[in-house]
Chain A
């Protein structure tokens, strides 16, 4: 494939260039795009090649790990052209500002940790090399020299690589509390100092190796932990597309694009077809079908005319509207929802991570044990403080939570990797822990339980009629018209050419062919009579000169996997509840189809959040799954929340976990993995504890030589890490296995 020949002209972006994603020098700019679906070398060459061909593009480089495309534009380059080119290649993309998402700070921290890790690793390997010689019997001057060299390597390494721990320990001490980093810092620094003293005196044992190895293992844990969070943050920034930030203001007969915050109450704003209203307003001129699915959860568009209120975020479908702004900034429906969300978030008790809960008990215990060991040995040896301190430090080193430091991050890295592979993105490291504790599930209907898109359920049209219907429907943005075009065969029937096509909001389309008036639309507009229409199924009819000749029925079908997911919730005693803003009939039908008994319709954002808060108060730890703007507060208030990738910006921002697959059983799958991860974390704590139960008494009795410490430390870390990797193995239950098979089969088809 030579699609990248153009790349030779402009080449990949220089790797060493890592300036922020803003202006890059005086002569051009750098833009970054998020392209969520890239996955292979083919994507790299297609996208880089395609973008490089554009005028004004100096260089483009796709980062597959972060799924970001970085484009260096000269002054003539247009960002929109790049976006169009990438979308033309069949990839969805969104512009993205690195400074907004705070990822540049993240990258810097990751690099610093990796740097510290490398230094600690280098020191640990070399000191270990020397220590092995000491353990195998080096004596006298050789041993002293080895201790000296070890000290020369270890002390700078400890001071350098230990900084992340020292900083955090200092912060904790200043706040008059203890965290895990206090005993770590104490152990490492004391061990270094005492070993230096031993080297001076020509002592037999030194703890240099243990100190640097401890740092090395802990830094591995710290780095993994950081990567989980950094990846989480990157995925969020991938999904936070830029909100509509501009609107068209009409003054007299002049119209101009202005930033939304410059629109004042009373201004006239033009909203084009296919655009979302940027402000709350009342329709001043125009009549159009409005899609409010993402705002209120209503599944079908409704016609609105002059005088009707429109919320920001509403999608205009059939004709451009002029709105008179009634609410801007803080007064909009959106701002109210955001306010509710913020209240909900501040009301949610800060979740204490499992690791922190363990540290709360562990850190004081470690200090006390070391202190008592010191006092005990002072008494036994009659005041030999050097020996007593030595043993106390060896206790600190042995108890230091090598395995504990790896217990959680190792599992989380594996778990988020497995979930990432299934298209489930975790925004917050604790979300996984919280997901494992869920006792109740609350679902939204439109866009969550259902696909949010009408699907053809019945078609009664002959070939010629279908051709006419398709030709008319192709001219409309109404979801039913789109569904008709999408779900019928393009080549099935010849599509005649119409003249005088007009769209009638709330009714349908009309056009003329050979002098005949053809109408496509609602039963009242083109059907036999207005009666007999049910709310749950929606029909469109086609009539020629007022005579109905065919119809098609649509239903808002459940998402794939919804029935399975609900069945699984029931099996897990999570009693699912359906809360929707849609009308009663539609909600009842969806609930029945999915097998949910407990449902409520016409729910406003306030009602949803009240329901969630009642569950929280009752200790039911609800999982909220939703997508709309109206779900935002409930998503923020719930113990843990999930949103599909198709959700509104607000919904995705509020949710802890976002799933990109179209199937609802991604939710149950995530829960399953979260539970297994939690089990593994608890197991790892158990392993670390068991190790301590054996090692600590030995250390207290003064039996912990540097060799014992080294073996104990590395073996326990290894065991914990290997245990975490078990998450990658398929679940032992039969169901897990078949599902995995189905998944891989699906992936193969997709590939």
Chain B
């Protein structure tokens, strides 16, 4: 069971990393225009 000492913090860290990334994305406005983001990938020069 000693492996838990690593695995639980690792799991939490990874989850926390995901949460932090999401919050960063939210704060920087990346969820403001989901439809536009989907279409912009088709533009050559963006």
Contacts and interface: CB of A to CB of B under 8 A. Distances in A.
B15 A125 contact: yes
B42 A41 contact: yes
B32 A65 contact: yes
Nearest to B12: A126
Interface string B21-46: 01100101111111110011111111
Given A44-B36, A64-B39, A66-B33, A118 B26 contact: yes
Contact of B11 (A12, A40, A126): A126
A46 to B, nearest CB: 11
A63 B40 CA distance: 10
A7 interface: yes
- Most chain A CB within a 10 A radius of its CB, from B1, B11, B45: B45
Interface string A1-45: 110110110001001101000000000000000000000110011
B26 A111 contact: yes
Classify the secondary structure of A's interface with B: helix
Q: Chain B, interface size: which category?
A: 20 to 34
Given A65-B33, A115-B26, A118-B26, A41 B15 contact: no
A397 interface: no
A91 interface: no
Given A41-B40, A119-B19, A63 B45 contact: no
Contacts of A15: 28-30, 32
A122 interface: yes
A118 B23 contact: yes
A153 interface: yes
Contacts of B39: 40-41, 44, 64
Interface in A140-199: 142, 149, 153
Contacts of A129: 11
Contact of A64 (B23, B36, B46): B36
Interface string B3-20: 010001001100110110
Nearest to A12: B46
A75 to B, nearest CB: 26
Given A111-B26, A115-B26, A122 B16 contact: yes
A41 B33 CA distance: 13
Given A64-B33, A118-B23, A142-B1, A45 B12 contact: no
B20 to A, nearest CB: 9
A153 B19 CA distance: 13
Contacts of A65: 32-36
A1 B44 CA distance: 8
A273 to B, nearest CB: 39
With most chain A CB atoms within 10 A of its CB, the pick from B19, B36, B40 is: B36
A233 to B, nearest CB: 15
Majority SS of interface residues in chain B?
helix
Nearest to A4: B45
Contact of A153 (B1, B12, B35, B44): B12
Contact of A63 (B19, B22, B23, B36): B36
B1 A63 contact: no
A574 interface: no
B6 to A, nearest CB: 14
A7 B44 CA distance: 12
Given A44-B43, A142-B4, A153-B12, A114 B35 contact: no
A349 B39 CA distance: 44
Interface in A77-96: none
A41 B36 CA distance: 8
A149 B34 CA distance: 35
A609 interface: no
Nearest to A49: B45
Contacts of A657: none
Given A65-B36, A115-B23, A118-B23, A149 B8 contact: yes
A62 B36 contact: yes
Contacts of B29: 15-16, 18
A530 to B, nearest CB: 57
Contacts of B11: 126, 129
Interface in A278-296: none
Contacts of A114: 26, 31
Contacts of B36: 44, 62-65
Given A15-B29, A64-B35, 8 more contacts: A1-B44, A2-B45, A5-B45, A41-B41, A44-B36, A62-B36, A118-B19, A126-B11
25 contacts: A1-B44, A2-B44, A4-B43, A7-B45, A12-B46, A15-B28, A15-B29, A15-B30, A41-B40, A44-B39, A62-B36, A63-B32, A63-B36, A65-B34, A66-B33, A115-B23, A118-B19, A118-B22, A118-B26, A122-B16, A122-B18, A122-B19, A125-B15, A126-B12, A149-B8
